[in-house]
Amino acid sequence: MKRNQVSGILRLAFAISIIAAVTAVLSPTPSLAQSSLNQNMGAVLRQLLSPGNPLPTLWNYSTPQTYGANRGGVTDSTAAFQAAINAGDVLVPAGTYLINGNVWVPNNRNIQCQNGAVLLTTLKTPTEGGILDYYNTGWGSVVGCTFRGTNTTIPAVEDDTQARMLIDMSSAQHVQLIGDTFEYAWGDSAVHMTYAASALSGSSSNTVEFCTFRNNALYGLAIVSGANNLIAYDQFLDSSVGSESNQPTGYQNAGNVFTQLNITQINGNGYEYIFLSGGAYPVGSDYSGNTVVSNYVSGAKIVVTDGNSVTPASYINNTCVNGCWVH
């Protein structure tokens, strides 16, 4: 019920933004920075998430301040956030919250950030983890939050020893990330979908919609192991997106849909180029169950096989402009 309410509210907001966009179209081709549709959607989200407007999905909620969180971004608030999420749903007021630990999210938790709430990590580490960590848990949502690292160099730096994600999902199920921003991550992906105990039971049936990914080291979002995840209506600026298993066999990577995404390369990032891919690595992998459909790629790259011997995803009706090329 809670998850469906989140989806219904945000889809209503999206419908409102479409009506506004029809009357104020700026360009026949969408732009990450200028799309009237994106601007109107952002305005609707800001209104929905403004102070005093907790979404009806929250039940028995508290704020991290109840448990001692500091909104000045100086004192680490990991313990306070963990206590709040252990107690129930969480409403995060405006402020900057330093979280250099891992906040483990139980089942059936909804987190909503009010306008101006930033979850910050300054951590650089080779140990995998995120500000929020799902480990064999799910059935919840994260709505309207800004997750921020300190990889603020333009373009962002990719360091192979860094594994600090912003949200790390290990065999997570039925989690909705709606209207969130992910920026300046050091990890190979800001949102990382993978497995917990077995690579054959990755993260599944999760939804990432209306989110913004900006200036991340490599991927804004990567599906390492997962099935039937929906990635839709998101913006990727100097951040790649796609599927990439670690091994050609033994991984679950099928049924994932990437659609209505806006991928734009302006400055690039720590990798050679920005790209969208339903899966092109490693050699011998089978991504035929994934679908990449109706996306807009500007100045970046659509990677189908990259010359490797893989079984590619289905690519349908994608727009490639402004120096974009297909490999």
DSSP 211-251: -EEES-SSEEEEESSEES-EEES-EEES-EEEE--SSSSS-
Residue type, 167: I
Angstrom distance (rounded) from CA 20 to CA 43: 11
Q: What are phi and psi of 295, to 5 degrees?
A: -110, 160
Give the pLDDT confidence score for residue 327 in this predicted structure. 83
β-bridge pairing 262-264 and 235-237: parallel
- What Cα–Cα distance (Å) separates residue 91 from each residue in 11, 96, 106, 149? 21, 14, 16, 21
Q: Virtual CA dihedral for 105, 109, 111, 112, nearest 10 degrees?
A: 170
Note whether residue 219 is domain-resident. yes
This prediction's pTM = 0.88
Give the pLDDT confidence score for residue 30 in this predicted structure. 42
Residue 9, token pair as written in the block: 């509210």
Question: Which of 217, 230, 104, 110 minimizes the C-alpha distance to 170?
Answer: 104
Give the pLDDT confidence score for residue 4 in this predicted structure. 54
Note whether residue 86 is domain-resident. yes
Number of domains in the chain: 1
Note whether residue 24 is domain-resident. no
Note whether residue 45 is domain-resident. no
Domain range for residue 234? 56-326
Residue type, 296: Y
Place of tokens 């090329």: 325
Note whether residue 152 is domain-resident. yes
Residue 77, token pair as written in the block: 């608030």
Give the pLDDT confidence score for residue 200 in this predicted structure. 74
Residues in the chain with pLDDT < 70? Answer: 1-54, 56, 199
Give the pLDDT confidence score for residue 44 in this predicted structure. 61
> What residues contact 79, with CB distance under 8 A and at least 6 apart?
67, 68, 101
Cα–chain center distance at 136: 18
Give the pLDDT confidence score for residue 32 in this predicted structure. 41
Burial 186-204 (b: 16+ CB within 10 A, else e): bbbbbbbbbbbeebebbbb
Question: Which of 138, 182, 169, 114 minimizes the C-alpha distance to 3?
Answer: 138
> Tell me: the pLDDT tens digits for 190-215?
999 999 987 678 999 999 999 999 99
Q: What is the CATH number of the domain that holds 64?
A: 2.160.20.10
Give the pLDDT confidence score for residue 132 in this predicted structure. 99
The interaxial angle of helices 2-22 and 36-48, nearest 10 deg, is: 140
